[in-house]
Structure 1
Amino acid sequence: MANFSGTRPVSRHARLVHVVHSTGVAESPSLTAFARGTPATPAFRPPAIQPYVLNKAGLRSDFVGRIELPVSDPWRRDIIPNRAPRVAVCGKRAAYPFAEPRTTSALHRDRTMSTETDRYTSSINRRTILRGAALTSVVGFVGVPAFSTRALATDGILDTCGTLDVVCAIDTSGSLSGSEVANLEAGINAFIDELPTDGSVLVGTVEFGNNGVRNKNDLQNPNGLTVSVSSPRGNTPMAGVIDLADQAVYGDSAARSDAVKLVVLFTDGGPNYTNTTYSVGGYTAPRDASSDWSAASGNGTYDNADTASATVSEGEMAETALVAASVKSPSVGDGDTLIATVYVGDSDTEAMTSGAITQYTDLPTYMADRIASGPEFAIDVDVANVQRLVDDLVAILDDLCCAPCPAAFPLKYEWVETDDAEGDCAGEFVVYDADDRVVPEVDGLRLVSVTCDEDGEPQEACFETTLCELSYVVKAGRDTESDTVTPADTDGVVCVSGIELANPRGKVVSHAISNVVFTCPEA
């Protein structure tokens, strides 16, 4: 495999490559691409590539596919020797850069270029499409006005975040060096500084190490919190701190019942502990004597506490994974708490026994598969790279956060037919404000796809949104339909369809969308 760094600047020979949908999206989505030409060669465009308006099927949460780019001789000769071309999947919030597997994140390990097959390939899912860095420009899909996508929150402080309660659990075990503790402290404080201070986010912290869980800061506004990480000592009671942090996001006096709950676990190793119970801030772990919170029921203690405190055993890893699963389960713990993990270890198998390696492979894999709420919530980063640590964490929050209804509402998306329309659609949506003035789209609401019928009229329009809630009225023919939606329930995408009605002969006719008016939900 020949790897190309995705962090290098793009040279004049490495032009941006956009990925668009080909035909056959509905059942088995396939991705393909076209590239702009280099100064030395004409534009390379593989045959049979047809730009395709992204539709609802192309944005499914269960969509999984692979990008495959045939590499032409001039492309290989003129682009690859200079810099890796960037490939982007254009859809929803941003574009996803494609190049070398980033060793600093579990999300980016599968992007490679094979010199044997001359294909760039990458396994992708919908969430990784949305996680990418914003482009300065994007493809103008047929029927969708071209616009510059909003940059991720890492370009600046998050302004607001719906309602989020988050506790940072910080490893202070003896395997961390003094410089690593300093970098970890800097990263955590920089992350806290990125959080909005409008009251939408409350943050707390707790340390685990040296045979205990201690130094708890209750949930509070981020602008009142600065973390001083203790000197590293002792082992890593991970099971206990996960349970205790989860209790805190629900039980602290400032905790909010309607908030999204998140535990962020910072660690350089795996679970190893000798105590059978842990307490901090009025909370005790295990929280009860059931087998939901320790390996065996009835005794209210951790059953795999390892007398060899310097090792990470299979039993400790299994018991900790059990606790994490209970925390994440809405039917077991206080709610469906999300867990994000930040692995900053120097060795992927640090202190793991042979049995633990056989069962769990390595610590980053264990964190992503058994502790975090999914690979997209697992970060693997060099602790010296403080900025990357912060960027990756804020990217996770950017997916979780939502924004209040904007003052610019109501907004009307009106379908306008145009003589120069190309492709399946005979026009485009134009945005109007309450005074019928043409205005740009607002932050937090973007039209991302239009599906048209054989007459070129829109039957479906899909919008990406970061708003917490919004209402809309769709007009189709002489009829209207309205709804109030919570985009978080639909993975940030709201699709509006035309209205089906029976004509006088009893035949069901689908009327195309005339306009969609978005408003703020009534209090």
Structure 2
Amino acid sequence: MTTTNTDRANRTIPLSRRSVLRTTGAAGALAVAGAGLPFFTRVAAADEQLIETCGGDVDVVVALDYSGSIRSAGTWGDIQSGVDSFLAVVPEDVQLGLVTFGDAPSAFEYGPGNLLDFATASNVSAIRAGIPASVPQQENATHMPGALDFSNAILEQEGRGGTEIIILITDGGPNYESGVVGDGAAPPDDDTTFPYGTFAYTGGSTGSENGTAGEQGEIDETTSIATAIKDAGRRVIAVGIGENVAGFDDYLRDEIASSADDFVSVQDASNLGSELDAVISEVCEECVDCSAAGQLAKYEFACVETDPDTGECLAYDFVPEGAAADTVAYTPGSFVSKPGEPFEPMAASFDTAYCDLYALVKSGRELEVQSFEGIDGSLTVETANDEKFAISFVAFYCTEDAAIEALARFPSRGSRSSPRGNRSPPRGRR
């Protein structure tokens, strides 16, 4: 997810990349092991879309820097707007928390003892109100370790034990006064009470905030805290604002973020919204690797409704062969048919959590292996013959080798009857 972009206003969310290995019959399909088989690559993109659900238990705490350097740079308006844009697209099944930090961290509370809650419209409105309209004049430090500790404690106490993420948004490195945070007493200045404990720091300056960011004690102490959070299984995404993040881009990427891919560089603060939108898209559409051997699932286009008097088939749809598979799921009625012909499927969509899959598709007497990479939660198979004939079945595999092996075992063309038998289905558009 590592990005360094200055303009992503026209971002689109990519769909799966689909490649096709096609043959007009199984005979000779593997005799050439790909030689003589036309290879096609198709790439599709969707318009930017709102993610309605995240799936699984995802809890996110945003740690938002509002230090004096942001006030001096005049970027707070853009940052506030970017966070507002992000809040608008967080799915309602995600739990959301907020920590702001300058001289000391401060945690937003929906109510007493409630610092993490679902991103419903009313809760999002409340959390927006918790973001200062302007950077307070007295906030000069950047208490990054306190913000990380507060965020981590919120997830530890109120998180659901699923995917737990801290999104740290800052324009520089740690810069703070030593002391205890969470007890509401100085030092440091502007400390607030925190329901989940107090945290002591010794790596900062003594007596007052000295205005110099990234001194070795601050670097080491903040790194240690970030490392402990990551070791506990939580993910830290660091979002750095400004050119080279005031010289702390490498530090945020290498020491604070969970990985290099979890560092996002936003050189122009006005682009923060699109970058944060991309972050939640990536989090909610995270896929898993497929490692199962053999066939995962197979769906045949078959009769699903008959006339009780005549026995005539009234409706067709894709149905699983054997027990329904939850690894590759089909929503009944979601196929796209040939115009004017209701039961001639030219395409069908399936939901899956896998990153990559291979589909063996039969249309008429033709078969092909369709490859899907970087799946975003769903994939769409198409006919194996450029819409000459309807899809009769789709079988899914984790590996290309398994799919090609299945294709090779299939009877040569003309030797297999239609899965619908000899009855011609009604025609029209589904």
Judged with a 3 Å threshold, the aligned counterparts in structure 2 of structure 1 residues 135 and 157 are, in CA distance, closer, same or farther, namely closer
**2:83 and 2:276 in contact (8 A); partners too:** no
Larger Rg: 2
Which of 45, 51, 76 aligns to 1:181? It is 76
Which of 124, 143, 154 aligns to 1:225? It is 124
**CA distance, structure 1, for counterparts of residue 403 and residue 44 of structure 2:** 30
Alignment correspondent of 1:348: 244
Instruction: Tell me which amino acid in the other structure corresponds to 2:178.
Output: N
Q: How does 1:508-523 map to 2 (within 5 A)?
A: 512=408
Alignment correspondent of 2:338: none
Instruction: Tell me which amino acid in the other structure corresponds to 1:276.
Output: G
Q: How does 1:165-204 map to 2 (within 5 A)?
A: 165-177=59-71, 179-197=74-92, 200-204=93-97
Instruction: Tell me which amino acid in the other structure corresponds to 1:204.
Output: G
**1:459 and 1:497 in contact (8 A); partners too:** no
Judged with a 3 Å threshold, the aligned counterparts in structure 2 of structure 1 residues 464 and 175 are, in CA distance, closer, same or farther, namely closer
Structure 1 window deviating more from structure 2 (158-167 vs 140-149): it is 140-149
Which of 377, 380, 386 aligns to 2:262? It is 377
Alignment correspondent of 1:161: 54
1:142 aligns with 2:46: no
Which of 220, 236, 242 aligns to 1:318? It is 220
**1:278 and 1:285 in contact (8 A); partners too:** yes
TM-score of the superposition, structure 2-length normalised? 0.57
Judged with a 3 Å threshold, the aligned counterparts in structure 2 of structure 1 residues 249 and 151 are, in CA distance, closer, same or farther, namely farther
**CA distance, structure 1, for counterparts of residue 349 and residue 255 of structure 2:** 39
Identity %: 22
1:246 aligns with 2:152: yes
**CA distance, structure 2, for counterparts of residue 461 and residue 514 of structure 1:** 18
Instruction: Tell me which amino acid in the other structure corresponds to 2:124.
Output: L
Structure 1 window deviating more from structure 2 (269-278 vs 219-228): it is 219-228
How far did 1:176 drift?
1.4
**CA distance, structure 2, for counterparts of residue 150 and residue 324 of structure 1:** 36
How far did 1:275 drift?
3.0
**CA distance, structure 2, for counterparts of residue 185 and residue 513 of structure 1:** 59
**CA distance, structure 2, for counterparts of residue 177 and residue 147 of structure 1:** 47
**1:173 and 1:210 in contact (8 A); partners too:** yes
**CA distance, structure 1, for counterparts of residue 266 and residue 86 of structure 2:** 14
How far did 1:190 drift?
0.9
Alignment correspondent of 2:140: 234
1:274 aligns with 2:170: no
1:368 aligns with 2:253: yes
**CA distance, structure 1, for counterparts of residue 372 and residue 43 of structure 2:** 17
Query: Aligned with 1:277: secondary structure?
Result: strand
Q: Deviations over 1:396-427 (max 9, x none)?
A: 322221499xxxxx98468xxxxxxxxxxxxx
Query: Aligned with 2:67: secondary structure?
Result: coil
Alignment correspondent of 1:40: none
Alignment correspondent of 1:15: none
Instruction: Tell me which amino acid in the other structure corresponds to 1:229.
Output: I
1:327 aligns with 2:206: no
How far did 1:170 drift?
0.9
1:213 aligns with 2:115: no
Query: Aligned with 2:160: secondary structure?
Result: coil
Which of 278, 282, 297 aligns to 1:399? It is 282
Instruction: Tell me which amino acid in the other structure corresponds to 2:164.
Output: K
Instruction: Tell me which amino acid in the other structure corresponds to 1:327.
Output: I
**2:18 and 2:372 in contact (8 A); partners too:** no
Instruction: Tell me which amino acid in the other structure corresponds to 1:256.
Output: R
Judged with a 3 Å threshold, the aligned counterparts in structure 2 of structure 1 residues 462 and 495 are, in CA distance, closer, same or farther, namely farther
Instruction: Tell me which amino acid in the other structure corresponds to 1:342.
Output: V
How far did 1:140 drift?
5.1
1:438 aligns with 2:382: no
**2:75 and 2:269 in contact (8 A); partners too:** yes
Q: Deviations over 1:199-254 (max 9, x none)?
A: x21111011112343445522222222324332412111111112101112312xx
How far did 1:151 drift?
3.1
Question: Considering only aligned residues, what root-mean-square deviation do their CA atoms show, in Å?
Answer: 4.4
Alignment correspondent of 1:256: 160
Structure 1 window deviating more from structure 2 (311-320 vs 390-399): it is 390-399
How far did 1:379 drift?
1.5
Structure 1: 5+ residue stretches without partners: 1-95, 106-131, 287-300, 351-361, 405-409, 415-431, 469-481, 484-492, 501-508, 516-523
**CA distance, structure 2, for counterparts of residue 322 and residue 193 of structure 1:** 33
Instruction: Tell me which amino acid in the other structure corresponds to 1:160.
Output: T
How far did 1:145 drift?
7.3
**1:202 and 1:221 in contact (8 A); partners too:** yes
**1:174 and 1:234 in contact (8 A); partners too:** yes
**1:213 and 1:237 in contact (8 A); partners too:** no
**1:342 and 1:380 in contact (8 A); partners too:** yes
**1:461 and 1:497 in contact (8 A); partners too:** no
**1:210 and 1:234 in contact (8 A); partners too:** yes
1:339 aligns with 2:236: yes
**CA distance, structure 2, for counterparts of residue 208 and residue 403 of structure 1:** 29
**1:235 and 1:272 in contact (8 A); partners too:** yes
Instruction: Tell me which amino acid in the other structure corresponds to 1:348.
Output: N
Q: Deviations over 1:466-512 (max 9, x none)?
A: 449xxxxxxxxxxxxx99xxxxxxxxx94476399xxxxxxxx9885
Query: Aligned with 2:62: secondary structure?
Result: strand
Query: Aligned with 2:75: secondary structure?
Result: helix
Structure 2: 5+ residue stretches without partners: 23-38, 183-192, 288-295, 301-316, 320-331, 333-342, 361-365, 379-394, 412-430
Alignment correspondent of 1:498: 402
**CA distance, structure 1, for counterparts of residue 17 and residue 285 of structure 2:** 23
How far did 1:461 drift?
6.0
**CA distance, structure 1, for counterparts of residue 241 and residue 403 of structure 2:** 52
Matched residue count: 297
**2:97 and 2:108 in contact (8 A); partners too:** no
TM-score of the superposition, structure 1-length normalised? 0.48
**CA distance, structure 2, for counterparts of residue 375 and residue 173 of structure 1:** 25
**CA distance, structure 2, for counterparts of residue 513 and residue 183 of structure 1:** 59
Q: How does 1:265-304 map to 2 (within 5 A)?
A: 265-279=168-182, 280-286=193-199, 301-304=200-203
Alignment correspondent of 2:323: none
**1:459 and 1:512 in contact (8 A); partners too:** no
Judged with a 3 Å threshold, the aligned counterparts in structure 2 of structure 1 residues 241 and 380 are, in CA distance, closer, same or farther, namely same
Higher relative contact order (CA 8 A, sep 6+): 2
Query: Aligned with 1:440: secondary structure?
Result: strand
**2:230 and 2:236 in contact (8 A); partners too:** yes
